[in-house]
């Protein structure tokens, strides 16, 4: 055996002996509460360390994190894993804690404010500063990284990479047992107050960014700015109200609901509004500079009903697909499964319109039927030239099935309609050219109209109804960054509560809660239930009840195309439910979510006979003498069936300007009638072709309600 081979064998033996001795020394520490002895070590200074990663050694520590972190922090975590993998020549992957990965491992680096006990233990190091983080090596050998907010958490991960990975031991990543690190980074974070003419809020933690509140009536760009302050309280909020008053801001209204406080001001030199409120349960304050809204005191009016006068709610019947298939027609594509149109008649015979159906529902004939209905319920005399007075048009969110029908009314019939107010709070976004066009038409046709960009907590009096704003997109924002938490446009819907002079109440949900078919269960949990909890926490009392949300009637959200809103319906606990959807029998519903919504409503105590659909009947609730009267009126203005004619070759027959029959379409009129019995000179084999009318489709399906038309 040559000398080189002998030396190699001796060296290998020495190394093996060293490893065995080292392992024996490590095994002596197994009762210390740390994980497996293979991950502890000692150096010449007699300190004991936990080894997380070593060059070329297969890793046992996994990086896991809170799945609700923002994209910036996720990038930092990915960078951490990548740097470790590159430096120590290992394969490493970071994993979110989720329903698919929630197995507690023996070796973990835990990032974020998770529900794990190690995160809770590390969080005890935090001192309540605005921007801070803590890193703790727990007694069980797990490493936890926590922070006061998303900005600080991202910084914590980045600092850990720079200090302990990039500039640490070249062969391993190890930390001394009992390692703890607390860092206050408040002085290094550049957070600025952007409302230059508004005093800054004292106390709490200002979010790292500001929030653009969105468009006005005819301006598609942003018309205001919102700041969010977290970790504050009612005393600091009240002090801020005093500070605003001292600066010359004029208080317009104050409202308090369930410990939350809402205050509207106007600026010292004009009627521009400043709105601020505190969500007491979460310790969050929002300060909103609104450049477009009319102050409440300049738009409200009151009315005391006289004997015999009453208010009412109607769900206006429109053409829906009777197959109830969800998100579109399942027969021939002619009619939708969406569209929402609620009409509130006030005791002074003005009306409030909520939304309005889509283009397919807004035919000329249907629009005329709507006008006739408005004249009927208000008692106005059309022949005498009396106008329908629309006290307000509320758009819940900017989807075409929620505004096109009403928009057609305002665009084409301003001679018989007077519009006094438009109410919405549509957030920033693209594709608002249609909004601008609509707004410009309204400004042209109704020059004295007013615009209210409504904010949570506002209580607006119109006649004998009080409109309380329960939720807007401004609430569903990250208190640390001001970024939106909304992931689907339906969730931008504004939620309103209407309280009538006799105490009856109605809640309009719009499409809040979003779509059913396009998202999986995990996405629902992350997106919907967090926002739901924010909403419910504003109105939950100390006993866990929701007295302010309890209402007599509700407009079921998103045409019943979702099935996860039982907590909302339980809180509202309605006696009556309006579903803007086709009225087929329960057992004929084709979408599983429809049945679940019916089940949820019935579970809250809503009688089946008080669940009202929209495609055959206009259902009404009239509030008369302390009682509720239910009315039903069959749909009018729907598409009728008709015949057209073809020759033997299948060419459609037209008449030209002289009344002659031709197969040329250009410039000519298709020949149609309702009996299919016409004959044509020279065309002995003409064929009548029937086109189904709306009721031909509808009557194929047994209705939810039996009703004579």
**Judgement on whether residues 129 and 153 belong to the same structural domain of the protein:** yes
423-482 pLDDT tens trace = 999 998 766 778 888 999 999 999 999 999 999 999 999 999 999 999 999 999 989 889
Q: Which of 161, 171, 231 is nearest to 202 (CA)?
A: 231
**Greater model confidence, 129 or 83:** 83
Distances (CA, A) of 10 to 1, 7, 22, 24: 13, 5, 18, 21
Domain edge (last residue) among 127, 158, 187: 187
User: 5 in a domain, yes or no?
Assistant: no
Pairing of strands 205-206, 224-230: antiparallel
Banded model confidence at residue 330, pLDDT cuts 50, 70, 90: very low
Q: What is the pLDDT of residue 116?
A: 86
pLDDT (mean) for 325-348: 75
Spatial separation of the C-alpha atoms in residues 550 and 175, rounded to whole Å: 55
CATH of the domain at 599: 3.60.15.10
**Structure tokens, 464:** 């004998």
Name the domain boundary from 124, 154, 187.
Answer: 187
Between 33-47, 266-280, 477-491, 596-610, the lowest mean confidence (pLDDT) is in: 33-47
Burial class (CB in 10 A: 0-12, 13-18, 19+), 332: exposed
The pLDDT of 231-240, averaged and rounded, is 97
Report yes or no on 12 lying in a domain: no
Reported confidence tier of residue 321, pLDDT bands at 50, 70, 90: confident
> Residues 171, 241: one domain?
no
Does residue 181 surpass a pLDDT of 90? Answer: yes
Together in a domain, 456 and 473: yes
Please indicate, yes or no, if residue 9 is contained in any of the structural domains.
Answer: no
User: pLDDT value at position 523?
Assistant: 55
Does residue 97 sit in the same domain as residue 130?
yes
- Average pLDDT value for residue range 22-27: 35
- Looking at the domain assignment, is residue 707 inside a domain? no
User: Apex CA 389: angle with CA 509 and CA 451, to 5°?
Assistant: 60
User: pLDDT over 90 for what percent of the chain?
Assistant: 63
Instruction: Kindly state whether residues 278 and 390 are assigned to the same domain.
Output: no
Look at residues 358, 356, 366 and name the one whose alpha carbon lies nearest to residue 390: 356
Instruction: Read off the CATH number of the domain in which 179 is found.
Output: 3.30.379.10
Phi, psi of 299 (to 5 degrees): -130, -20
Q: Which of 592, 611, 634 is the last residue of a domain?
A: 634
Average pLDDT taken over every residue of the chain? 87
Whether 374 and 512 map to the same domain: the answer is: yes
Q: Tokens standing for 698?
A: 């509808």
- Domain of 230, in residue numbers: 190-290
- 2 within a domain of the structure (yes/no): no
Q: Which of 198, 271, 227, 225 is nearest to 451 (CA)?
A: 271
Domain assignment present for 11:
no
∠ CA 701-703-709, nearest 5°, is: 105
Inside any domain, residue 10: no
Residue 696 within any structural domain of the chain = no
Dihedral pair phi/psi, residue 688, rounded to 5°: -90, 130
Confidence label for 650 from pLDDT (cuts 50, 70 and 90): very high
User: How far are the Cα atoms of 155, 426, 541 from residue 290, in angstroms, in the given order?
Assistant: 33, 13, 30
Instruction: Give the integer Cα–Cα distance in Å for 285 and 482.
Output: 12
pLDDT, residue 707, reads 61
Within this chain, do residues 203 and 344 fall inside the same structural domain, yes or no? no
**Domain shared by 555 and 528, yes or no:** yes
Q: pTM for the full model?
A: 0.77
Measure CA of the first residue to CA of the last residue in the chain; give whole Å: 108
Secondary structure of residue 520 in the 3-state scheme: coil
Average pLDDT of the residues in 322-331? 54
Q: Are 428 and 361 in a shared domain?
A: yes
* Highest mean pLDDT of the ranges 39-53, 55-69, 251-265, 526-540: 251-265
For residue 332, is pLDDT > 80? no
Distance between CA 623 and CA 502 in Å, rounded? 8
207 and 68 in one domain? Answer: no
421 and 391 in contact (C-beta within 8 Å)? Answer: yes
The domain total for the chain is 4
Residue 35 has pLDDT above 50, yes or no: no
* Full 3-state SS string of 163-230: HHHHCCCCCEEEEECCCEEEEECHHHCCCCCCCCCCCCCCCCEECCCCEECCCCCCCCCCCEEEEEEE
Instruction: Give CA 523 to chain center in angstroms.
Output: 13
* Mean pLDDT for the stretch of residues 307-322: 94
Q: Check whether residue 394 and residue 325 sit in a common domain.
A: yes
Are 312 and 268 in a shared domain? no
């Amino acid at each position: 055996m040559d000398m080189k081979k002998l030396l190699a064998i001796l060296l290998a033996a020495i190394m093996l002996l060293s490893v065995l001795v080292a392992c024996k020394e490590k095994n002596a520490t197994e009762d210390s509460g740390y994980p497996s002895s293979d991950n502890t070590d000692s150096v010449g200074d007699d300190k004991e360390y936990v080894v997380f990663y070593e060059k070329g050694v297969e890793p046992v520590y996994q990086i896991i994190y809170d799945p609700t972190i923002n994209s910036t922090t996720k990038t930092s975590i990915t960078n951490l894993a990548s740097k470790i993998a590159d430096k120590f020549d290992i394969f490493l992957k970071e994993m979110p804690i989720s329903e698919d990965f929630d197995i507690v491992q023996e070796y973990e680096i835990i990032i974020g404010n998770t529900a794990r006990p190690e995160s809770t233990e590390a969080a005890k190091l935090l001192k309540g500063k605005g921007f801070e983080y803590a890193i703790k090596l727990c007694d069980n050998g797990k490493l936890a990284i926590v922070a006061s907010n998303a900005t600080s958490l991202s910084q914590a991960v980045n600092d850990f990479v720079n200090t302990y990975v990039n500039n640490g031991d070249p062969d391993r990543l190890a930390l001394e047992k009992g390692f703890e690190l607390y860092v206050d980074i408040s002085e290094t974070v550049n957070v600025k107050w952007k409302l230059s003419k508004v005093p800054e809020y004292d106390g709490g933690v200002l979010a790292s960014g500001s929030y653009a509140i969105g468009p006005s009536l005819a301006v598609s760009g942003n018309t205001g700015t919102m700041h969010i302050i977290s970790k504050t309280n009612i005393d600091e909020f009240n002090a801020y109200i005093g500070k605003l008053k001292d600066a010359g801001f004029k208080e317009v209204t104050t409202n308090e609901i369930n410990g939350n406080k809402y205050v509207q001001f106007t600026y010292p030199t004009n009627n521009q509004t400043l709105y601020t409120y505190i969500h007491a349960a979460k310790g969050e304050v929002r300060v909103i500079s609104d450049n477009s809204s009319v102050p409440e005191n300049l738009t409200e009016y009151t009315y005391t009903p006289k004997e015999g006068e009453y208010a009412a709610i109607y769900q206006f019947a429109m053409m829906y697909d009777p197959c109830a298939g969800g998100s579109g027609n399942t027969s021939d594509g002619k009619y939708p499964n969406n569209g929402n149109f609620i009409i509130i008649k006030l005791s002074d015979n003005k009306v409030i319109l909520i939304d309005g159906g889509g283009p397919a529902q807004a035919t000329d004939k249907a629009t005329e039927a709507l006008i006739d209905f408005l004249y009927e319920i208000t008692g106005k005399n059309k022949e005498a030239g009396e106008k329908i007075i629309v006290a307000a048009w509320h758009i819940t969110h900017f989807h075409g099935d929620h505004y096109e029908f009403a928009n057609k009314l305002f665009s084409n019939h301003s001679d018989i309609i007077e519009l006094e107010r438009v109410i919405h709070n549509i957030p920033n976004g693209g594709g608002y050219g249609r909004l601008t066009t609509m707004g410009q038409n309204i400004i042209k046709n109704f020059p004295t109209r007013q615009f209210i960009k409504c904010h949570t907590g506002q209580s607006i009096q119109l006649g004998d109804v009080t409109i309380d704003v329960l939720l807007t997109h401004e609430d569903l924002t990250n208190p640390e960054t001001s970024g939106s938490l909304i992931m689907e446009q339906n969730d931008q819907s504004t939620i309103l509560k209407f309280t009538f002079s006799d105490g009856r109440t109605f809640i309009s949900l719009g499409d809040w809660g979003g779509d059913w078919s396009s998202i999986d269960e995990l996405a629902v949990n992350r997106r919907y239930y967090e926002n739901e909890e924010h909403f419910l926490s504003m109105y939950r009392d100390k006993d866990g009840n929701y007295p302010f949300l309890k209402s007599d009637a509700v407009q079921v959200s998103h045409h019943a195309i979702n099935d996860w809103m039982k907590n909302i319906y339980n809180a509202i606990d309605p006696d009556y439910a309006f579903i803007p959807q086709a009225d087929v029998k329960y057992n004929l519903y084709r979408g599983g979510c429809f049945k679940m919504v019916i089940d949820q409503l019935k579970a809250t105590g809503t009688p089946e006979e008080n669940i009202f659909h929209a495609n055959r009947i206009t259902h009404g609730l009239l509030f008369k003498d302390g009682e509720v009267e239910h009315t039903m009126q069959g749909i009018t203005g729907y598409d009728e069936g008709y015949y057209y004619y073809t020759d033997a070759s299948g060419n459609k027959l037209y008449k030209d300007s002289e009344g002659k029959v031709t197969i040329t379409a250009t410039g000519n009129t298709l020949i149609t009638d309702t009996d299919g019995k016409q004959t044509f000179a020279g065309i002995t084999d003409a064929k009548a072709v029937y086109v189904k009318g709306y009721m031909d489709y509808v009557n194929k399906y047994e209705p939810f309600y039996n009703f004579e038309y």
